[in-house]
Chains A and B, each alone.
Chain A
């Protein structure tokens, strides 16, 4: 990726726009959502797995080798060809580290072009329709567009909800609230101890 901030952003926008257009042209909003989800999964896997990262790093790997290896892996994972192509290009140009920025740019473009916001919702229990409606209404009220929920159930979560849309995050989970309560309690105790001292 270029070192100039503006050029790099423009390049990221180009990747995101190309991916969005390709997905939309080849399957509409469903394809967009599917491709977005697949891209997100690959991105998270790349970030969290050094072995996967190592497949594309090192001086002994030529651009062609990196591209072919990425397309091969994506093919085996049944990733949409649009996503596979974009990731192949990123691997070829040794720009896989830009995946998170492209993902954010993709979401921004989705919101600006289609007036649609993808809302990542994480809860302990699956949402029912009533909750989906409430969340969509809130997103529409806050951001002024349509909301598409991308739901994740995390059984390790204590309760509550975490919502992310358009690079904005609302953490209303019980885990966070309890941690805040724990911190506040300790802080209050520290102040009391200091006041006594």
Chain B
């Protein structure tokens, strides 16, 4: 668009130059042919000034009619372009800021979530550790309890066995003493005593 406007402006300038050159050829040659001296050198030459003024006015009119609007359009379009660009840049900046904010928010959320996960994992780990510790303690207590019971039972068995052996040995010794040391008369005395002390036949 801008390129098109520039092209139109350039065309307008070319048309103005052609008019001034082709419309007033006499003035152009006349200027080349004049030879002034003295003050006349710095004073305007009417023969040259009027045509030039007319040419200027014509040029101004043409430019005002055709050049300026095109130039104005170019400027306007350029202004719009710049405005749009600025607007777009502003929008992009706002979008970037929004995205950045969103990103920051997501990042913060992610950090928060990660912190929560870590805290949860820590909590779970603590609970698991406590559970494992309690379980281990319970199992160890049970093992100790069982071991104590087993030791106690072994002790009882040993004592029972020992005392049983003592009872057996005592009775065996008594048996041997009775077997070897009692005479027939002593046996008979025992029988007599037992018959007298024995319960009744009715009682059985």
Contact = CB atoms under 8 A, between A and B. Distances in A.
A131 B198 CA distance: 14
Nearest to A174: B178
A138 B174 contact: no
A168 B163 contact: no
A81 interface: no
A185 B170 contact: yes
B32 interface: no
Interface stretch (B38-46, B85-93, B95-103, B183-191): B183-191
Nearest to B153: A197
Contacts of A42: none
A90 B195 CA distance: 38
A138 B198 CA distance: 9
A170 B194 CA distance: 10
Given A159-B182, A186-B164, A197-B156, A142 B174 contact: no
B134 to A, nearest CB: 30
Contacts of B160: 186, 189-190, 193
A182 interface: yes
Contact of B171 (A127, A128, A182, A197): A182
B2 interface: no
Contact of B194 (A125, A172, A182, A194): A172
A160 B190 contact: yes
Contacts of B201: 139, 142-143, 163, 165-166, 168, 170
B200 A189 contact: no
A66 B63 CA distance: 166
B190 A159 contact: yes
B70 to A, nearest CB: 122
Interface string B156-179: 100110011011101100110011
B194 A160 contact: yes
Interface string A158-187: 111101011011101011001101100110
A142 B202 contact: yes
Of B182, B188, B200, chain A has the most CB atoms within 10 Å of the CB of: B188
A164 to B, nearest CB: 9
B172 to A, nearest CB: 9
A131 B182 CA distance: 17
A163 B198 contact: yes
A124 B152 contact: no
A159 B195 contact: no
B197 to A, nearest CB: 8
Contact of B195 (A138, A165, A169): A138
Contacts of B164: 186, 189
Nearest to A180: B171
Given A161-B191, A161-B194, A193-B163, A178 B184 contact: no
A110 B182 CA distance: 37
A161 B195 contact: yes
B196 interface: yes
B188 A128 contact: yes
A130 interface: yes
Contacts of B175: 158, 174-175, 178
Contacts of A179: 171
Nearest to A119: B201
13 contacts: A130-B192, A131-B191, A134-B195, A158-B175, A161-B194, A166-B201, A168-B201, A174-B190, A185-B163, A189-B163, A189-B167, A193-B160, A193-B163
Given A123-B187, A127-B191, A179-B171, 9 more contacts: A125-B188, A130-B188, A131-B188, A159-B178, A160-B194, A168-B202, A172-B195, A182-B168, A189-B164
For the complex of A and B, list the 8 residue pairs with the smallest distance between their C-beta atoms, beginning with the closest. Answer: A189-B163, A172-B194, A185-B167, A142-B201, A182-B171, A125-B184, A168-B204, A168-B201
